[in-house]
Amino acid sequence: MIVYGIWTFCAAILAFAISAVTGKFLIPYLQKLHFGQTILEDGPSWHKGKQGTPIMGGIMFIAAIVIVGVLSTVIYILTGSEFINTYRADLHHEVIYIFAGLGLALANGLIGFFDDYTKAIKKRNLGLTAKQKLVLQFAAAVVYLAVLGFSGCGTSTMIPFVGKVDLGFFYYIISAVVIVGVVNAVNLTDGIDGLDGSITFFAAVTFMLIGSATYALGLTALSAAVAGGCLGFLVWNFHPAKVFMGDTGSLFLGGIVCALAFATGMPILLLPIGIVYLCEMFSVMLQVSYFKLTHGKRLFKMSPIHHHFEMCGWSEVKIVGVFSLVTAIFGAISFLLVMFGTK
């Protein structure tokens, strides 16, 4: 276990290094291409100062997570047989979840890349239409779930204090909706400097601890890579941001968060661990619904909800700190649910 602990630490450090160092070369290149952010007219007025900040910075942590994720999994396959025979019975399915999950994340990242590229070329804030994004995201989710299904991963899910529940065919329908919903929720969370990267860092640390506690060491190393990659990106993205992750990064992060949750066998953990993502998404849904029902009145000063707190006078750093603390607390609760609710 000590060896695997060192291995996990090395995965996090390597991902951090790749992500942080990539930024040194990627940011000037994006500036040279004039791939800058266009700020919405109806956004907070003080965000106008961010006009022109390079987008597509998510490439930094995407490269780090994929490289370290694949490398660590291959090492796990080649060296983990004795450990697996002692503690875990199913290396095959764990590896399928990891590689299929990386595929899901990359597919969503590619959707985001096309969106960012369109924005950068046309110099406007809107890239792909909402309908185009949804169709592509559902396609990515369906392919991911099909790979899991054909690989024999099954339709059962573990619910803490309830046990295994087999949802049958409904597992795929519910999972597809959940994946697309969470991917877009993570995308909506990317609205101020350092927020999405910080939230995802704490989510990944939670999955890393859960993976370690359940002896899913492939998942543990991948989670460590996600945490390290996000931290390396925050070197450049923390306020004041020198680069934005763009939809390239936020949609990738949405995919990888879903992948980590499904790899635990308990996708229901997305509810507590992703509490901030979900609050961001539901704040938008409530705002739009309330606006239509009341013919122009607003429930929040602005949505997603991080902008509401901005309008209330909170600094970007304070919002990031508070939202990260909430994620860490709910992450700790999730860890306890797994430890005491799945025995």
Residue 86 clears pLDDT 60, i.e. is over it: no
pLDDT of residue 25: 95
Q: Where are the domains of the chain?
A: 2-269
Of the two residues 43 and 283, the one the predictor is more confident about is 283
- Average pLDDT for residues 179-195, to the nearest whole number? 96
Residue 7 clears pLDDT 70, i.e. is over it: yes
pLDDT of residue 9: 93
DSSP assigned state of 313: T
User: Percent of the chain scored above 70 by pLDDT?
Assistant: 90
User: Percent of the chain scored above 90 by pLDDT?
Assistant: 75
Of 64-78, 79-93, 129-143, where does mean pLDDT reach its minimum?
79-93
Residue 182 clears pLDDT 90, i.e. is over it: yes
Of the two residues 168 and 44, the one the predictor is more confident about is 168
Residue 186 clears pLDDT 70, i.e. is over it: yes
Q: How far apart are CA 21 and CA 304, in angstroms?
A: 31
pLDDT of residue 35: 79
Give per-residue pLDDT as tens, 30-56: 988 877 666 555 556 556 667 778 989
Burial class (CB in 10 A: 0-12, 13-18, 19+), 161: exposed
- Average pLDDT for residues 233-259, to the nearest whole number? 96
- Average pLDDT for residues 68-93, to the nearest whole number? 75
Residue 71 clears pLDDT 60, i.e. is over it: yes
Confidence at 268, pLDDT banded by 50, 70, 90: very high
Give per-residue pLDDT as tens, 55-69: 899 999 999 999 999
Q: At what angle do helices 217-237 and 59-79 cross, to 10 degrees?
A: 160
**Mean pLDDT of the chain, nearest integer:** 91
What pairs with residue 54 in β-bridges? 36
- Average pLDDT for residues 182-209, to the nearest whole number? 97
- Average pLDDT for residues 140-145, to the nearest whole number? 98
pLDDT of residue 82: 57
Render 152-213 in DSSP notation, one character per residue.
Answer: T--SEEEETTTEEEE-TTHHHHHHHHHHHHHHHHHHHHTTSTTHHHHHHHHHHHHHHHHHHH
Residue 103 clears pLDDT 60, i.e. is over it: yes
